[in-house]
Chain A
C-alpha cells in the first residue's frame, strides 16, 4: 500500500537556524510529490511540488526540496527559518495513475522561537 512517512513529529528551532524535514514515500511507480503547509487556523497551502525534471525544486518563502529517487525521499529544507514559519508541514505523494489521490504523511509541527 502507498504510504508517506515523516520522521520528525515536532521540531523546535530558533530564528535563523536551518531546517530539514524528512519525507519518505512508499510507491513503486511514478509519483508526484508535494509539500503543503498549514498555518494555525488556515487552509493547506502548497509550498512546492515535483512532477519531473530537476530533482531540486524551489518553492515559496525560501523553501526547497530534493527528490532522491533511489532513497524514495523528498526532504524539505530552508536555510534560515523565521518566526512566521511556525506551522504544520505535510508531505504528500500523488501516484501518477490515480488522478488527484494524495497520500499525506502525519505532519511535522514546526515551532520557531524568536
Chain B
C-alpha cells in the first residue's frame, strides 16, 4: 500500500460525457500528478498540482483539467470524452520536487 487512494476503480462513460476522477494523496504530500496509461504504453504525464496551483502540464488538451484542495487531495476532470480517452488514470503524490512519487492503483476508464 502506498497511501494514495483513487476512486472509482472502474468507470464506463459514453462518448461526449464528462468524468471526474478523485485522488487522496499520501499524508504529508503536497504535490499531486496525474498520468494517463493507455493499454501497452507507459504512463503519460497530464499535469501536476502543487499547493492547489497547476505547475506543469503535459501534451493534453484543455478538456483535461484538474483541481487540488487544501487537504492536497485532487480531482481530474475530462470533458467531451472521446474513445481514445479510454485508459488507466494514475495519480501520484510526493513531497515536492526531486523526491520519490507514490502511485495509486488507478482508475480504469472505458469510453464507449
- Which residues of A come within 8 Å of B, CB atoms? 4, 6, 32, 34, 36, 42-46, 49, 51, 90, 92, 94, 96, 98-107
Contacts of B28 in A (CB 8 A): none
Interface residues of B (CB under 8 A from A): 2, 4, 31, 33, 35, 40-45, 48, 50, 55-56, 58, 90, 92, 94, 96-106
The total number of A-B Cβ pairs within 8 Å is 69
Chain B residue with minimal CB distance to A46? B100
* A45 CB contacts on chain B under 8 angstroms: 2, 103
11 contacts between A and B (CB under 8 A): A46-B102, A99-B50, A100-B31, A100-B92, A100-B96, A101-B48, A102-B45, A102-B101, A103-B45, A106-B40, A107-B42
Inside 8 A of A101's CB, which chain B residues have their CB? 33, 45, 48, 56, 58
